[in-house]
Amino acid sequence: LICPANWTIRQAKVKLAQAMQWNYDTRQRWFYGGKLVPDHIALEDSRIPPNHVVQVVICDPSKTSATSS
């Protein structure tokens, strides 16, 4: 995913969701180095070097808490 360095993490999440044709960009959680990357910071301030791997965790809205029997 290629994004301008001045974009926020949130903007990059939207671009990833569009590229993957997902309808839930707000359900993404990005982790780098074992830490959650906040949405409000710019990519250039995130301390994620170019070409490094970011773990993206998606919360599936259809798999919410189990119902009681």
Beta-carbon contacts of residue 27 (< 8 Å; ≥ 6 apart): 58, 59, 60, 61
Q: How far apart are CA 40 and CA 69, in angstroms?
A: 41
- Side-chain half-sphere CA neighbours of 45 within 13 A: 9
Per-position pLDDT tens, the chain of length 69: 889 999 999 999 999 999 988 876 678 999 999 999 999 999 999 989 888 999 999 887 666 555 544
